Structure formats: C-alpha cells, structure tokens
Chains A and B, each alone.
Chain A
Amino acid sequence: MSEPIARRQSLTDYRISASKCSVCGSVYFPPKSFCNNEGRASKMIKHDYLYEKGDFYSGSVIVASTNKFKYLSPYLSCIVEFKDGFRIPGRITDHTPSETADIGKYINRPIIPRFRRLYADGEDGLVYYSSMNFSFADEYYPYQEYTVLPPSKEIEKPGIVGYGAYIPKYRIKNEGDGAAGVKERTLPYADEDTTTFSVEAGKRALIHAALDSSYIKKVHVGTESPTYAVKPIMATVTQVLELGEKFEDGFFSGGVDTQFACKAATDMFIDACALVNYPQFGGEYAMIIGSDNSQAAPGDALDYTVGAGATAYIFGRRDVIATLDYYVSYTSDTPDFYRREHEKYPRHGGRFTGEPAYFKHVKTCMKACLEKSGFTPKDIQYVICHSPNAQFPTRAATEIGFNKDQIEPGLVGQKIGNLYSGSCPTSLAAVLDVAFPGDKILMTSYGSGAGSDSYIFTVTPKIEEKRNRIIPMREQIENPYREYVDYAFYRKMKESA
C-alpha cells in the first residue's frame, strides 16, 4: 500500500462507511454516489456499520495465507451479513480456529466489528488498520449499542462524564504467588496494539457517556508504547470515533499523545478539567486515554508483571459521575526507568525504582493531596496507587494509613498486570464500577523519570444512571471466554503487536 491509498482506505474501512439508496435500499461499500438500480436520480444516504452487529455468512480457514497475513495464520476470513442484507468481507479476530473447523457451525453466528491492525509495511513502513475485523458476539467481547442522549442542561463542577476500559482476551499466569503479587496478566492478540486499545477504550467511553462524539474537542492519548515514534495515536482515535465536528474528511478537534512513563494519561486529567472550564476552548468535553502494550525485555523482572490494555475518560461539566475536587502533582528528575530512542525495551535501576522513586513520589503526593483537602484516610472510601505490581501500591497506601477494604477494589493489577499508562486509569475504572454516590476516591499515579499526580474525586448520583452501559472490570477480568496462553505464545503476541 502507500500513504495516499492508506488515507483513502481509512475513510471507508475505519467505520465501515457505506451508502444506502433511499429508494430501493441497496447498500454499497465502498460508498457510491448513485444506485445501480435507481441511477443518478437516487438519493444516497451515508451509513456507518461500526456500531452494528452482523452475522457470519460464510468463510474459510486460511491456512496458506498471503505474505502480509502470515503472522496471523491460521485464521478465519469470512463474509459478514448485516441485518439489512448488506455484506462485507471480514476477518475473525481473537480466535484461532482448528485448521479443519466445520464452517457450517460458524454460519449465522453474530459478530461485532473490531478496530484492528491488518498488517504493517515492514519495520519502517505504515501500519494499516480497519474495523472490518470481527469477534463473536457470544464470546469474549459483548455487543453494546451506542445510543446518544441529549446532555443535561445543568452545568456542574468538572469531572468524569463517562469512561470505558478495555483489556484483551488473552492472559498468561505467573507461577505460585505471582511476581510481586501479580498473578496473571493480559496480553494483546497479534493484531492489537496501543492504537487499537485506545480506540476500543474510547468507543466504550462514548457508549458509557451516551455522548455525541462530535462534542469532544480534545483527545490526549498517554502511552509509552506508541505505534509510531512520530505519528499520533490520537489522530487515529479521532478519525475512527469521529471526535469533534466533522468538516470534509477531518474534524474540528485537537489533542496530542503524551509521554511521561506510566503517568502520561493521569497528568492530563487536570488539564482536561481546566480545558472544559475555559471559555475559549469552544467545546465542553475532552477525552483522556491511558493505553499501553507494556514493554519489557524478555526475561527481565518486568517481563512477569507487564500487561496490556487501555482506559478512556471523558471529562466535562454536564452529567458528571465523579467531580474532580483536589489535585496535587509532584516532580523530580529521578532516573529510575527509561528507554532511549530506537531502543525496543526500557531499562531500569532495579531496587532504585522503589524507595527513592516510586514510594517517595507516590507518598509525598498522596500526603500533600490529603493535606490540601483536609481529609484523612477515614474520609476516603477508595484509594488507588499506580500498580507496577501488587505489592508497591498496597505498601504505599498502607503506610499512609489506608486499610485493605479501601485498597483492594482498585488493585486490579494483580489480575491484569501493569498497564503502564493505563494502570491508574484502569484501577479507577474498577473502583467507579462499584462506587456509590458520595464516595470519595483518592488516586495517585506514578511515572518514572519521575512524578506523581494525586486526585480526589467525589462520586455523584449520575453514576447510577449510566451503570447499565458499562462493562465492569470485574466482568472483564473474570470473563469466562478469557484464554490462557504459554510464555512462547505470549512473547510472540507481544512482539507482533
């Protein structure tokens, strides 16, 4: 492929954009300006199938694939039929079929579009994506409708309006008691990466907020495993989810990818709240995504704690489910963990990452935030600390005076691993899943290099109204369709992504 072809394909393939004849109902993909049956008099209506559900019409187990797709074979390619009879070709993802799978058993199974990688042009070329990849609706990834509701007229204190967490289907177990408390971890399928995680999380946040995507005027993606050294993930997220007002084939919205080790996303929470308060912004909502396919050198201690996934937050001032009440940030030039340009894996200072790095920053920040708010640990229902493993956050929070009941709900790292930039945002999602109106949440992130952000949120009654639109972290972690793999498979997936 080439750059211009990639651009043209993104306009049709990212959202499965088709055109439908208003007279005879025929649907065309890629979209056409006139209907073959009705001629040029036909009025063609644009219709996207990104949020729709289709059925497996027929397919084949591709064993001898084209060179571009060798990294995935064997896999199922298929024809997908949507309810209006419209069909497109697709590939089934998150699924390794038996090479002699009975195709008849797949026919008519409902399937859901997934934004996934197709292939890359070598190590230095473009990476191509599409939403014409599908997973089974009766499997790991449940179908959710995207219904847009009008925002309430009431303007409140800024905070979280909606959130969406996404963790992949695949898991690897650590032996015995785990690695520093991490018992099992998520890993990407070979066609997943930080970009696809970001899109998934953003999509779920939009569904949760029931918000018109054009209202979101800014999106920041915090990550330390970007797909490209230069080319923002936020632009792909914007294009797929259509964030901001559409003009021609682009959008009136902005954003950047941010980098500060594991606090690249949480650092932007305060900025998002400030932004939605700023009249010149010209919008009312901002999205922050923490996303990582956390990297570690094979055999390194971190190789037993890293996970993969993303969580997205929409900040605004209407229909807020948790207000952002207090904020403190603390920074120093502490070289505990780093990755030089062109290097594949990060390096770290071993035990130096503990006391002078993680604990110093997290605890200082937490204390300062409590002081600023005037709260004591007893006033807080849930406490979250960045989870490079399960031991560090537990120790840090305990030393400040929190107990197990306050710590446990956010301690998802022991089951999903360290999501780097996605760690704190995902822990916060797990807590919001179970929090009640009035609950206070203290979250403290940590990014090597080094710094921490502490936030205190207060949950509002609006959280109850939106609860039926969330896929709770607990359900995701315990999803019966999760699949455990061995270390060789894990490394292969990790390297592919």
Chain B
Amino acid sequence: MTANQVKPIAAIVGAGRTKFGELWYDDPERLLFDAGLSCMESVDKGIHRNQLEACFFGSFLYQATNKMGLVPGHMSKELGLNVPITMTEAACASGGSAIYSACLALRSGQYDTVLVGGFEKMTDRSNKISDDLMFAADPSEFGAGFTFPGLYATMMSRYIYDYSEGKQECEDALAMVSSKNHHHAIKNDFAQFRREFTPEAVKKSSLVAYPIRLLHCSPVSDGAAALILTVPEKASMYTDTPIYIISSQLATHDVSIYTRESITSIKTTKLASTAAFKETGLSYKDIQIAEVHDCFTIEEAMFLEDSGYYKKGEAWKGIYESYEANKGLKHVPYVNGQNELIVNPGGGLKADGHPVGATGVRQVYEAWAQLRGQAGGQQVEEKLDTALCHNIGGTGAICTVHILRR
C-alpha cells in the first residue's frame, strides 16, 4: 500500500506557530493566542473562529511556572468562544497528546473542525525549571538526585556500555546528531538557535550530566504552536492542499526508568510506531522525513532503533557513517541501504527549541509546512509525500506517533 491509498483520519487545513526562544514579554495564554491566530491566517480559503467546534490544548508546567490553572477559561476569554475546550498534560508529549485527542474526536464524528494548540512558558521561572521538569519523573528518581539530563545520561551511559564496542565513534555519533540538527535550523526563521556547531564543539561544551553536555540537550524555551484539523470530507472548504493525518497512535509505559526492562530503548516508541505502521500498512521505507523527539541526542538515536530504521545497537554506526558521508548537504539524511530518512529538517527540539507542551504540535506544523513545500529556507528539496512525527513525554512514559501525507 502507498500512503496515498491510506484512508485519512483528519485533514490539517491550517497551522501556525510563534518563534521559539526566550520570549520575556509574552504570557503563556498570549503565546497560544498568537499561534492560534497565525494558524487561522494560514487557512488558504479563510476560516472564522465561529467555525471551530472544540479546542484541544496541551501544556505541561503552566501551573508551576505561571501559577495558572483552568486553561479552558483563559482560552475562552482569549478566543471569545464558548465551545468545549479540553486540556492535556503529558509532560513533553502534551502537544502530541492533544493532537491524539483531537483525532479521536474527529474519528468519533462528534466534531468536524477543531483547533489544537500546545504551549509552554519555561523562562518565567528558569531558576526552578530543573526541579519542576522532574514532575515528569518518578519521585524516587528526584530523591536520588537525578535531573532530566541525568536520566537520559544514564540511558546514554548504558547504551555506550552495551553497544559502542569500545569505539569512540559511538560518542562522536551522539554529538553529530546535535551538529546535524543545528545545521538544519540555520534557515529556520522561528528557531531558537541558528548556529552551526561541529561535533567537536558539542563534545567540548559545558557539562550538564556526564556524559551529556549542554549541546546534547534541547534548550529551555517559550513558545506555542497550533493546528486546525477537520474531518477529511470538509477539508476542501478550507484548502485545496490539505495535509492528511493517516495515523494517530499513543502508547504509555512506566514513568520511571528504573522499572523498565531496558533503558537503552523506549518501549512506547516501539509500540506507537508499530501501531502506526500497522494502521497505515506502511513501513519506515515509506517515510521521507521524520520529526523526532530529540530532547537529548540519545533519544534520536533510540528512535532510529525503536522505529526499526536501524537494528538494535547500530543506530550510532548509521548516524556516524551518514554524517561523515553527507555533511555539508542542506539536509543530512540517515542512510540505510537504499533508504534515506531526513530527521528534524527544521532543527528539531535541539535547535528549533523545546517549549515542552508546544513541541508535539510544532512537529506537526513543521511536517505540514514541509509536505506543502512551504517550509521556507529549511524546505527539503526532494519531493515529499509522507512524514512521521514522534513526540515523547518524560523519559519515554508516553509517546505519540502521527503519520502525515499530502
């Protein structure tokens, strides 16, 4: 089966976002409003607020960072709407979970047109953000002194121990992920960082939680992103070039890494991507671009294995060889035999920024823009049909996978 033959679940008829970064002058509800407005304005044939039947929003830390609750009330006030608004909290997968909920609502036939949004305001309490992010971990992990980078560093340490075969190239590859994503963001007008970093610079950056250094980590960011989804049958009311969501999957697992059978792979990525491929009849060979949750570079490497693109323990070899062979290209693909997969064409979480609740929605925004050929400077030059978006919460306790096609 090809992607074109798969029956769509929903159509994306509009998408918008704010710039990601340190947005000192914006309140969180303002960010979401701005993303929503740019999303409305992106609808080719126009849309009016009153055509929105429901809203699905995702965010993680707003209660701690902004002493704010009841987002539906805030957004009702901002939008001037009295429609059902629901709020999803799933840490860094809050955005992906909001999209999943919206897809469920459209699948059910309850609504025809809905607004999806994700937002986060992390810099308003930056001195406490390391502590606050641990809300998405097990309390015993906090008690053991862990930070989020520390948890991923623990996975990375074990990955290196189990699979590097003692070769330095493994650690080099995990630095190359960062270099590649920074390179992809150079022409992304919305990105938080538009600077090149060599793998050597990544490996010399300041220490956070060894073996993780600053440039292995996605940043602390503010930002929001929004989408308008309709049932496929209504898409033509709004645009002639809708992007279809053909799979929407979500899987969950233990919040704690210490209880998991393996800490060198993410079970939820395996479950959600397997379910998405099953739902569509596609395989990774059909995907040209992937928006991958590279909160830390090890997570992108684990995705490449958990999704089946590379064999277990071999992603680092694929990353290393692909980077060495293709560095300098506008987009550096991961090569596997005859297959080429471009991951994070706009810079991913690493360079575009990671306002956690916005990320899952921003990923779909990026895939939407790429598939429509409207991604601006970071547009992938090859013809694109199919994209995959992979959004992780916590250390992998939740994962959403969405497959999109033209």
Contact = CB atoms under 8 A, between A and B. Distances in A.
B361 interface: no
A118 B141 CA distance: 12
Given A60-B153, A60-B157, A66-B147, A89 B140 contact: yes
A63 B146 contact: no
B295 to A, nearest CB: 15
B134 A66 contact: yes
Interface centre among B139, B140, B156 (most CB of A within 10 A): B140
A115 to B, nearest CB: 13
* Top 4 A-B residue pairs of the complex, sorted by shortest distance between their CB atoms: A60-B153, A58-B158, A89-B144, A103-B157
Contacts of A80: 258
A114 to B, nearest CB: 12
Contacts of A104: 157, 160-161
Contact of B146 (A67, A89, A128, A133): A89
A284 interface: no
Given A67-B131, A79-B154, A118 B143 contact: yes
Interface string A200-216: 00000000000000000
Given A62-B150, A63-B207, A87-B259, 8 more contacts: A30-B140, A59-B157, A60-B149, A68-B131, A79-B263, A88-B140, A103-B157, A132-B140
Contacts of B134: 66
B128 A67 contact: yes
A66 B144 CA distance: 11
Given A104-B157, A104-B160, A63 B208 contact: yes
A364 interface: no
A394 B131 CA distance: 53
B145 A101 contact: no
B371 to A, nearest CB: 38
Nearest to B211: A103
A331 to B, nearest CB: 44
Interface string A23-47: 0000011100000000000000000
B343 interface: no
A13 interface: yes
Nearest to B148: A66
A77 B154 contact: yes
B211 A77 contact: no
A99 interface: yes
Contacts of B141: 89
Nearest to B166: A104
Given A65-B145, A103-B157, A88 B258 contact: yes
Residue in B145, B149, B151, B161 with the greatest tally of chain A CB atoms within 10 Å: B145
A89 B151 CA distance: 10
Contacts, number: 120
A328 to B, nearest CB: 48
Interface in B148-192: 149-151, 153-158, 160-161
B235 interface: no
A493 to B, nearest CB: 17
Contacts of A72: 145
B80 to A, nearest CB: 40
B154 A59 contact: yes
A401 B259 CA distance: 64
Interface in A62-76: 62-69, 72, 75
B64 to A, nearest CB: 13
A165 interface: no
A242 to B, nearest CB: 21
B139 A77 contact: no
A217 interface: no
B256 A89 contact: yes
9 contacts: A29-B140, A59-B157, A62-B147, A64-B147, A65-B145, A69-B145, A100-B210, A104-B157, A104-B161
B203 to A, nearest CB: 10
**B interface, size bucket:** 35 or more
A381 B376 CA distance: 91
B259 A60 contact: no
A62 B143 contact: no
A170 B143 CA distance: 24
A368 interface: no
Contact of A62 (B138, B140, B145): B145
A29 B260 CA distance: 12
A62 B157 contact: no
A78 B161 contact: no
A80 B145 CA distance: 14
Contacts of B143: 9, 13, 89, 118, 128, 130, 132
A64 B130 contact: yes
A57 B158 contact: yes
A130 B212 CA distance: 27
A181 interface: no
Contacts of A169: none
A91 interface: yes
A63 B384 CA distance: 42
A66 B130 contact: yes
Contacts of A69: 145
Contact of B139 (A9, A60, A100): A9
B215 to A, nearest CB: 13
B252 to A, nearest CB: 13
Contact of B150 (A9, A60, A107): A60
Contact of B154 (A58, A99, A100): A58
A63 B212 CA distance: 10
B335 interface: no
B338 interface: no
A61 interface: yes
A103 B155 CA distance: 11
Interface string A1-35: 00000000100010000000000000011100000
A90 interface: yes
Nearest to B158: A58
Contact of A65 (B130, B151, B160): B130
A62 B142 CA distance: 12
Nearest to B146: A77
A58 B256 CA distance: 14
Nearest to B260: A87
A63 B146 CA distance: 10
B342 interface: no
A77 B145 contact: yes
Contacts of A99: 207, 210
Contacts of A103: 157, 160-161, 210-211
Contacts of A89: 138, 140-141, 143-144, 146, 256-258
